[in-house]
Structure 1
Amino acid sequence: MTLEALLAYAHLLAILALVVFLSSEAALCRAEWLNAAVVRRLVRVDVIYGLSALLVLATGLLRVYFGVKGSAWYWANPLLHVKLGLFLVMAGLSLPPTLAFRRWRRALDAEGTLPAANEVARVRRLVMIQAHLMPLIPLAAVFLARGYGH
């Protein structure tokens, strides 16, 4: 039971970190606020966001395999697949912003230029889609935890 509580705690901390750094990206990625310091900060925030996403996945899988309910119970529930599917969609949507942030930093370092406002808006839209998908994952989780889907 102690292991279950510690796994749940670690998973929750990872989720909170993911939310904090995704929110930070959304706040920073605005054309009207973009300057050299923000471009560099976006790259660092994005790295931490990616690491927190990996921690969410790792701690979630640890809960599946070492949690009280057992992996057979989880893998048989379609809500787990909904959660993983949403997580993978978010991961896919995070790749273009990650590449853009790094491209912006390279352009800044090489030429001293900032990205065009329309490019910033396009990247921000992808970040915002992720931010709006994120709350659907815990919604599926609460139903999963209460046995729905079986």
Structure 2
Amino acid sequence: MTTEALLAYAHILSILMMATFLASETALCRSEWMNAKVVERLVRVDLLYGISAMAVLATGLARTWWGVKGATWYWAQPLLHAKVTLFVVIGVMSIVPTLRFLAWRRALRADGSLPSPEQVRATRRIVMIEAHLVAVIPLLAAFLARGVGTR
């Protein structure tokens, strides 16, 4: 039982970290706030977002392997597959902002230029979509934990 509690704690903590860094990206990615320090900070925050997302994945997999219900039960559940699929979709979507943040930093360091308001707005839109999709995953998790739609 201690292992299950520690696995749940690690998973929840990594989810909170991921949500924090995604919210930070959302807050920072505004054309009216854009300056050299924000561009540098966005790259760092995005790196932390990526690291925390990998922690979410690792701790989630650990829960399926070493948790009380076991991998056989978890991987037979359609809701788990829906959660993982949504997580992967969000991960693929996050590649675009990451590449843009890195390009903005390269341009900033090369010639001091900042992204245009249109670039910032388009990138923020993607980050906002990611944030809204992330909010669906705990709903699926709550249903899974309570046996809704389980096999």
Tell me the TM-score normalised to structure 1 length: 0.99
Q: How does 1:124-135 map onto structure 2 within 5 Å?
A: 124-135=124-135
Displacement of 1:148 in angstroms is: 1.8
Measure, in 2, the Cα distance between the counterparts of 1:62 and 1:55.
10
**Counterpart of 2:105 in structure 1: which amino acid?**
R
Which residue of structure 1 aligns with residue 136 of structure 2?
136
Measure, in 2, the Cα distance between the counterparts of 1:38 and 1:135.
25
Displacement of 1:45 in angstroms is: 0.1
Measure, in 2, the Cα distance between the counterparts of 1:135 and 1:26.
14
Measure, in 2, the Cα distance between the counterparts of 1:148 and 1:56.
22
Where structure 1 has 5 or more consecutive residues not aligned to the other structure, the ranges are none
Q: Secondary structure at the match of 2:94?
A: helix
Measure, in 1, the Cα distance between the counterparts of 2:135 and 2:117.
28
**Counterpart of 2:134 in structure 1: which amino acid?**
M
Q: Secondary structure at the match of 1:79?
A: helix
Which residue of structure 2 aligns with residue 84 of structure 1?
84
Which residue of structure 2 aligns with residue 40 of structure 1?
40
Displacement of 1:147 in angstroms is: 1.4
Which residue of structure 2 aligns with residue 108 of structure 1?
108
Displacement of 1:135 in angstroms is: 1.0
**Counterpart of 2:31 in structure 1: which amino acid?**
A
Q: Secondary structure at the match of 1:148?
A: coil
**Counterpart of 1:95 in structure 2: which amino acid?**
I
Displacement of 1:86 in angstroms is: 0.7
Q: Which digits, 9 at most, give the CA deviation of each residue in 1:34-86, with x for residues without a partner?
A: 00000000000000000000000000000000000011110110000110011
Tell me the TM-score normalised to structure 2 length: 0.98
Q: Which digits, 9 at most, give the CA deviation of each residue in 1:78-121, with x for residues without a partner?
A: 00011001101110110000000000000000000001110111
Which residue of structure 1 aligns with residue 29 of structure 2?
29
RMSD of aligned alpha carbons: 0.5
Measure, in 1, the Cα distance between the counterparts of 2:91 and 2:147.
27
Tell me the number of residue pairs that the alignment of Structure 1 and Structure 2 aligns. Answer: 150
Measure, in 1, the Cα distance between the counterparts of 2:133 and 2:58.
20
Which residue of structure 2 aligns with residue 18 of structure 1?
18
**Counterpart of 1:44 in structure 2: which amino acid?**
R
Measure, in 2, the Cα distance between the counterparts of 1:147 and 1:19.
25
Measure, in 2, the Cα distance between the counterparts of 1:54 and 1:117.
31
